[in-house]
Chain A
Amino acid sequence: MRFRIPLVVFLLFVLGLSAVHAQRGFRRFLIEDDDAPMPADAAEKTEFTFARLRYPSGGSWGYRGHWTIDYPKADRQFVQGVRRLTRIHTRSVEEVVDLDTDKIFDYPWIYVVEPGRWILSDEQCKKLREYLLRGGFLMTDDFHGSDEWEQFMYSMGRVFPDRPVVEIEDGDPAFHVLYDLDERLQVPGIVNYPYHRTHERDGYEARWRGIYDDKGRLMAGICFNQDLGDAWEWADDPTYPEKYASFAYRVGINYIIYAMTH
């Protein structure tokens, strides 16, 4: 009898855990199954390659590092959309680049996931600054709330100590270069399943921020308090809302075309 209460509690816990685990999103949250098959045309040489930045980070995302979140499925699924929806000659697989070699200069568009965790060295900040000023474009995604913003700015502030991060205005070509994105959504991550809530931490409102060069050209598109990467990754999941997936594709494609035109 004295074991009855603990046993009931244990059984209820197991039952609850099973129920929760049965929910697909939560299951993914616990063990992100980001793997994706290697396309047959992976070796094709193309004009555009989805370049994912590998950066040093602390925190708890384990041995892979925060730069690998949604990798590589989000990347490969997103470029399928780029191929289908635009004339951009796009590679079917991503390329991982870092700020420790000059390889990054062969990829004028890079994607950074969870920059709220990055910790760039001074040398890496310097290289990123040079990359952007030469004409490279940076798209950041999937970081939320004031703490991660602060961490983001700890490095970004050293990349451009002289340039402010500003809100991108509605009329900016980045929001119109292909798709008109006057009405923008806060795209939720998979952790928000079943998506009644779209924000994480204290990042209640999606922010569209950027850094401009001296000629008014956007160098960095900073998607803050939103998770486009998850929307790309789970676009093929029937439970993920189509409106978020479609919007995330549009945002990503607009930033690529903007980077290839400005």
Chain B
Amino acid sequence: MFEFLFQHPSTLFAKGQFTLLSPWPVWVLVLLVLSAAGGLVWYALRSRGVLPKPRALVVGALQAAMAAILLLLLWRPAISVTTLRSQQNVIAILLDDSQSMGTDEGGARRIEQAVRGLEGGVLDRLRDRFQIRLYRFGGGLERLEKLEEASATASASRLGAALRETLAETATLPLGAIVALTDGADTSSGIDRETIAQIRGRKIPVHTVGYGREVISPDLEITDVVVPPRTLADSRLSAEVVFRQNGLAGKKTKLTIREGGQRGGPDGKVASGRILLTREVTLKADGQPQAETISFQAGSAGAKSFHFSFDPVPGERNELNNSLQRLVNVEGEKPRILYFEGEPRWEFKFIRRAIDEDRGIQLVTILRTTQNKIYRQGILDPTELEAGFPARAEDLFQYSGLIFGSVDAAAFSPEQQELIREFANRRGGGVLFLGGRSALSDGGWDASALAELLPVRLADRTGTFHREQATLELTPQGREHLITRLLEDPIRNAERWKQMPALADYQETGPPKPGALVLAEVAAQGRRQPLLAVQRYGRGRTALFATGGSWRWQMSQDLADRTHEDFWQQLLRWLVAETPGQVNGTTPRPVLSDESVVRLRAEVRDKEYSAVSDARVEARIVGPGGVAASIDLAPDPMEDGIYLGEWAADPTGAYVAEVLVRRGEEDAGRDVVMFHREDGVAEHFRVEQNKELLRNLSEQTGGRYYEADEIGRLPDDIEFSEAGLTARQTLDLWNMPAVFLLLLALRGAEWFVRRRWGVI
């Protein structure tokens, strides 16, 4: 219909440029149109004895519109457009040959729909006017002689790489357009800006034809698992499993965590591995992201691989997207936490006893027993902490965490207070403040420079410490937090905490600071106030536990009860779990799905945790099948203390990179980075059509997105391109049937209203 009315395809109007071919100036046209319109309206109003004013205005407007169109036609309206010269240009057709194109779409696979669409006349019509180059793409790009060769078996789908290779291969050819037939289920990180810029630079329109449903139903898919890349041995790990489903709302399934599981067998499902934990999950609303926070034991030290998988739900269309793998470096080193206590307290004793049972943490303590004496425990040699709390950065920064008990802020010199602040900010350590008769506000911490480390505001007064029993209550955040999780189920966990014996005492605190997380509160003096709160501070983290009376949990409960031990171990492990060492190695993508290049990054600091830029940083990589390599990481010119390097991991499997740092002849530290390469896994995820990606690609390159059943319009549209060898055409518009019909309609409308109003 459009082409009947306008004589040309819609793409022409989208691509072309409107112009007036008459040599007469445009301002003359504007003047004439205004004059004619004004005159006709004036004339209609003048005869208002016949028609009332509004009706006269309508008649005048209709006549004016008709006059304006007729005047416009005198100026010869036309459209100018660039078109590809026939038989002189190349059209590249890219056919997605990845496994997701094998998805059945109501009786036919996506790849079959695409092939059928091309073979149904489109390819022939294109060949009539252009040279056609057929490609298929998965992990890379490959020429395709016959469409039948496409089999939807490639283990990856990297559209960006395919476009880059197409540009490279056709660099010397008059490439007029690119056509991509795909579901857009890209397994790489998308199409980078550089590729888009290259395409735009050559003005090549990329037309996309989308296949597949935008919603796969019924289906359950894990979209992400957020888990810390490293932890301490025998720690509880908290993982947030993010997933979504369609068509399965209200159904139940089972989430399982396996250690060391492998995808095996032809079905690609995770079968082996030691089951660490299972949890029943009820699926919520369709299409909405859902998250489950789950914690489990990381186990002994070493490189660990964990698989998170959902049991298939009956009727599910794709069971291969129910599982994701994550790597965790379980560190064997025992972080040391320095606990400074201002006076002998039962809390001190019972914290020590709780941590004594923890193989992953070492507690070093300074206790002021008398006015003139300190008592040290957990020290490595008699000289350690001999003079009390450290006064030098290199002495203090050897610890991973700090705890301050019932001690006033004035016990620390201004230099020591600055060191404590830098301990969290620069060194990245964890700092915990406890309640006590000389702690927090009663110890003058509110007026000290260290008040900013606290996750709550403190009252500006003393007398805030009360030796009155008080009961802890979890906040909604505390029910699922790693520190306060005694039981997996958040509701049962909250109930468990309600049954705990009362604390021996509590300390008043103020409101939490912005960004702080309150995990537990205490109801006292007619109001609820933060008891346990945490926050990030600089590179580190800080926490507040505003009591010195949790020892009652140990003394007032059965010997077999481990609540007190678990709580303190979890709290202190959380405190230091992310404290970095002097050398901190990372990789942005620990799981390389269908890609081989691993990027390694090392952050190097000296004993005072200042950035080091003169180190020699080497990564020794060991991989599957005896693969071994050594690469040097180069200093990042943009940031002090950062070293970068890349390496191609060819065989699939697990890799360990040991990052070694030397400064001159001195060994300046080491760290371990783990990564895993896998092929053909990502292809099973996000298999629904990614229409947004395809639309954006076409819009940004001047192309057009087509639904699968619109592919027949492609041959007509594709010639409008500014790439390749082109010719400029100017097409008259005055002879479009639409113009004639418009004039007729205006005249008919005038006749209709006049007749209706009885003035003919």
Contact = CB atoms under 8 A, between A and B. Distances in A.
Interface of A: 45-48, 85-89, 102, 105-106, 108, 130, 133-136, 177-178, 215, 217, 256-257, 259-262
18 contacts: A45-B467, A47-B343, A86-B369, A88-B344, A108-B346, A108-B555, A130-B559, A134-B557, A134-B559, A135-B353, A178-B370, A215-B356, A256-B344, A257-B344, A257-B375, A260-B349, A261-B349, A262-B353
B345 A47 contact: yes
Interface in B712-752: none
Nearest to B466: A45
B437 A89 contact: yes
Given A45-B467, A133-B559, A177-B375, A87 B352 contact: no
B554 A257 contact: no
B371 interface: yes
B518 to A, nearest CB: 27
Residues of B in contact with A, size category: 20 to 34
Interface string B25-51: 000000000000000000000000000
A251 B670 CA distance: 48
- List the 6 shortest-distance A-B pairs measured between CB atoms, nearest first: A45-B467, A87-B343, A260-B344, A105-B555, A88-B344, A260-B349
B552 interface: yes
B308 interface: no
A235 to B, nearest CB: 19
A93 to B, nearest CB: 15
Contacts of A46: 467
B368 to A, nearest CB: 6
A160 to B, nearest CB: 13
B462 to A, nearest CB: 15
A178 B368 CA distance: 10
Contacts of A256: 344
A177 B350 CA distance: 17
Given A86-B370, A134-B555, A135-B353, A260 B345 contact: yes
Given A86-B369, A102-B556, A259-B349, 18 more contacts: A47-B343, A47-B437, A85-B370, A86-B344, A88-B343, A88-B344, A105-B555, A108-B346, A108-B349, A108-B555, A130-B559, A134-B559, A135-B349, A257-B369, A257-B375, A260-B344, A260-B348, A261-B377
Contacts of B685: none
B179 interface: no
A90 to B, nearest CB: 10
Contacts of B444: none
A134 B554 contact: yes
B711 to A, nearest CB: 76
A85 B344 CA distance: 12
A119 B51 CA distance: 123
A136 B555 contact: yes
Nearest to B368: A87
Contacts of B557: 134
Contacts of A47: 343-346, 437, 467, 548
Given A106-B552, A134-B554, A135-B353, A87 B342 contact: yes
B369 A178 contact: yes
B367 interface: yes
B375 A261 contact: yes
Which of B344, B353, B504 neighbours the largest number of chain A CB atoms within 10 Å of its CB?
B344
Nearest to A47: B345
Contacts of A177: 369, 375
Nearest to B365: A261
B373 interface: yes
A60 B153 CA distance: 97
B551 interface: yes
A89 B343 contact: yes
Interface in B538-562: 548, 551-552, 554-559
Contacts of B368: 87
Nearest to B346: A108
A213 to B, nearest CB: 10
B508 to A, nearest CB: 16
A261 B367 contact: yes
B343 A108 contact: no
Contacts of A257: 344, 369, 375
A106 B344 contact: no
Interface string B334-357: 000000001111101110110010
Contacts of A102: 556
Contacts of A262: 349, 352-353
A133 B467 CA distance: 25
A215 B556 CA distance: 21
B567 to A, nearest CB: 15
Contacts of B371: 87
A87 B352 CA distance: 19
Contacts of B353: 135, 217, 262
Contacts of A178: 369-370, 373, 375
A217 B350 CA distance: 13
A55 to B, nearest CB: 20
Nearest to A107: B555
Nearest to B556: A105
Contacts of B555: 105-106, 108, 134-136
Nearest to A44: B467
Contacts of B558: 130
